[in-house]
Structure 1
Amino acid sequence: MTSHEKKLVAVDIGGTGVKTGLLTETGTNLASGHFPTPRHDYRLMTEMLMNHIDENYATGFDGIAISSTGLVDPGTQEIGMSSPIYEPFGKELVRQLQARYRVPVSAENDGNCALLAEKWQGAGQDCHDLAMIVLGTSVGGAVMIEEKLVRGSHLLGGEFGYMLMPVKQGAKRWEIWSITGATRSLVLDTALKKGVDPADLDGRQVTELLAANDKEAQEAVADFIEQLAVGCYNLQYVLDPQKILIGGGISKADFLLPMLQEKIAEISSHIPSNVLLPEIAICRFGNESNLLGAVYDWRNKFGCGQVVAINDEHQL
């Protein structure tokens, strides 16, 4: 870190916890912290965050960079519009932090932040056009075209988890991808096939069962990979990105990338009009990607190395 390099408090607001860090403007993490999301009363979020900043980062910083679940308006910087969870604190969070600390504050959706991290220092550095699929308790994502985030008219750009997938069992014929194709869905499907309590399984154990040639795990993983392959194939022809990045904890599993590439090639072989196969890459960053992407977002909004004047009426 150089003597003139700015330091930023980066904040990642999640559904169950808030992660923080003191990062340089080039992405070096100098300190880390966390506290639980106040799920009993979300109105306490602002006060808890300010107390956390005061206790952990009071030595001085030049800005605050926020990544948050929920929708984030790029103009007003309001978080969680119309969401009963995030709106109680999100509408005023940026303005309140700005008034309290007298530094520029930015906010961006967490999926977009993850993509920004990969574009900045990860698997998407050499790309102008990117799509990202994040596999976790749900399916998330983000899109960048010509190095600009695609938000859409309702800020739903990249919300791939709402895509419909056919359902093979039960009364429903269709369900959203976040229900059928998330990592949690893979665990539940494996547990159902094995007749065990889902609470006794997690993604790591499913990976171990697959490595041991467990029949039920093989079937569940095959269904999981097929849905992911169909999603990637469709996104390639809707968005035509240079790369499709896969994130989330399970993306690091040894089986995922080769099985996914094989399944995409198999699907494509049955489509005479197929033009190309999607280029798939695994995200470089894991749990810290949102903090890093938030810093990159702050840099883009306020300019690396620039001095930004803050007053009570300043609007981001």
Structure 2
Amino acid sequence: MTKTYLGIDVGGSAIKYGIVDEKGEVLSSSSLPTIDDKADVLQKFAAIIRESGNVSAVGISFPGVIQGKGYLKTAGAIHSMFGVDLYAEMLKITDKPVAILNDANAATLAEAMSGHAQGISDYILIVVGTGIGGGIVINGQIFAGATGMAGEFGLISLDIYSDNAAEDISFSRHGATIGGLARYYHEISGDETVDAKEIFQKYEANDDLATQAVKHFYQSLAFGIINTIVTIDPEKVLLAGGVTNRPTFITELTAEIAQIKNSFPRYDSIDFPKIEVAYHKNNAGIVGAAYAASQI
């Protein structure tokens, strides 16, 4: 009989959940609103598990820094869950095996279960959104690091010789869509546009300032990705986030990476991995949490 797993994906506005089979197919899914209240979150977990029926295990994707089996050192925008030992709380709710992991790590694992990392043992996923985040898989396992911070790519510094504060020279501050592209465009134009689509439309219309901003965005993203490549040496780099839906995104990005690679002779001896857009979109957290549950 085919096993099924419950994947729960907690976000700042919604708790999404679904039943996932062994092949990574979401058989059913639903959602509940997220309330920043510990008791409410735990009560909803209990109700979801009761509703899920006879699943083999439960996986929970949660934002923030997660240590050990499920201690939430931070919890994104859900402040009532900071410092909560979620694994201990789940033992009170269910006797089913439970896996708890960071949301970016869940999205990363989803690609191994039924996405573009099937059969690949070493890869990274970089999420390009308001900021930059991601996950690292080494030898087929999520690498969380000593304190659960591995994959916080957005904290990488891109210009150590700048007099600006560390945050101002971070990967997130230059290679993200809101923190990077939109912020930089506002700085050079005075236009408060925060929609990346509008900036790309102006870029396609040959607007000089939009062109400068998009060039800065792709160059920053390229350098950040190269930093991760030469540090981790993955077989593949996957990219996620709304900007990756742009039809020419990968072509434009890889052209910038190639230009940087060609300008630095030391890179000639390095085989850069394939870079592509992640397969999973809205259900990535559910599928990744279910995959973690399947590995218990």
Shared fold, TM over 0.5: yes
Is the CA contact 1:229–1:263 (under 8 Å) kept in the aligned structure 2?
A: yes
State the match for 1:179 in structure 2.
173
Map 1:88-99; keep pairs closer than 5 Å: 88=81, 91-99=84-92
The TM-score with structure 1 as length reference comes to: 0.82
Residue 90 of structure 1 and its aligned partner are, at CA, apart by 6.6
Residue 123 of structure 1 and its aligned partner are, at CA, apart by 1.5
1:119 aligns with 2:112: yes
State the match for 1:291 in structure 2.
286
- The one-letter code matched in structure 2 to 1:17 is A
State the match for 2:55 in structure 1.
61
Higher helix proportion: 2
Residues 243-293 of structure 1 show CA distances to partners (whole Å, capped at 9, x for unaligned) of 111111111212321111111111112212212334211111112111111
1:224 aligns with 2:220: no
Residue of 7, 10, 16 corresponding to 1:13: 10
Is the CA contact 1:207–1:253 (under 8 Å) kept in the aligned structure 2?
A: no
State the match for 1:73 in structure 2.
67
1:151 aligns with 2:144: yes
Q: 1:38 to 1:299 in 2, by over 3 A?
A: same
Residue of 20, 45, 48 corresponding to 2:44: 48
Q: Give the Cα separation in 1 of the matches to 2:160 and 2:195.
A: 22
Q: Give the Cα separation in 2 of the matches to 1:17 and 1:247.
A: 19
Q: Give the Cα separation in 2 of the matches to 1:258 and 1:152.
A: 32
Residue 163 of structure 1 and its aligned partner are, at CA, apart by 0.7
State the match for 2:22 in structure 1.
25
Residue of 274, 278, 281 corresponding to 1:279: 274
Residue 240 of structure 1 and its aligned partner are, at CA, apart by 0.9
State the match for 1:248 in structure 2.
241
Residues 203-248 of structure 1 show CA distances to partners (whole Å, capped at 9, x for unaligned) of 3333333333333222111111101111111212111111111111
Of all paired residues, the percent bearing the same amino acid is 27
Residue of 200, 211, 214 corresponding to 2:204: 211
State the match for 1:305 in structure 2.
none
Is the CA contact 2:106–2:284 (under 8 Å) kept in the aligned structure 1?
A: yes
Is the CA contact 1:138–1:178 (under 8 Å) kept in the aligned structure 2?
A: yes
The TM-score with structure 2 as length reference comes to: 0.87
Is the CA contact 1:43–1:88 (under 8 Å) kept in the aligned structure 2?
A: no
Q: Give the Cα separation in 2 of the matches to 1:197 and 1:83.
A: 26
Residue 42 of structure 1 and its aligned partner are, at CA, apart by 4.4
Range that drifts further, 225-234 or 122-131: 122-131
Residue 121 of structure 1 and its aligned partner are, at CA, apart by 1.8
Residues 105-137 of structure 1 show CA distances to partners (whole Å, capped at 9, x for unaligned) of 211111111111112221222422112211111
Residue of 244, 255, 274 corresponding to 1:262: 255
State the match for 1:304 in structure 2.
none
Q: Give the Cα separation in 1 of the matches to 2:265 and 2:163.
A: 33
Q: Give the Cα separation in 1 of the matches to 2:231 and 2:70.
A: 28
Is the CA contact 1:160–1:177 (under 8 Å) kept in the aligned structure 2?
A: yes
1:134 aligns with 2:137: no
- The one-letter code matched in structure 2 to 1:290 is G
Residues 60-100 of structure 1 show CA distances to partners (whole Å, capped at 9, x for unaligned) of 433321111112224x3223369894573773433333433
Structure 1: segments with no counterpart, 5+ residues: 302-316
Q: Give the Cα separation in 2 of the matches to 1:37 and 1:90.
A: 18
Structure 2: segments with no counterpart, 5+ residues: none
- The one-letter code matched in structure 1 to 2:289 is A
Range that drifts further, 165-174 or 267-276: 165-174
Residue 43 of structure 1 and its aligned partner are, at CA, apart by 4.7
Residue 176 of structure 1 and its aligned partner are, at CA, apart by 2.2
Residue 162 of structure 1 and its aligned partner are, at CA, apart by 0.9
Instruction: Give the paired residue count.
Output: 292
1:35 aligns with 2:35: no
Range that drifts further, 268-277 or 81-90: 81-90
Query: Alignment partner of 2:23: what SS?
Result: coil
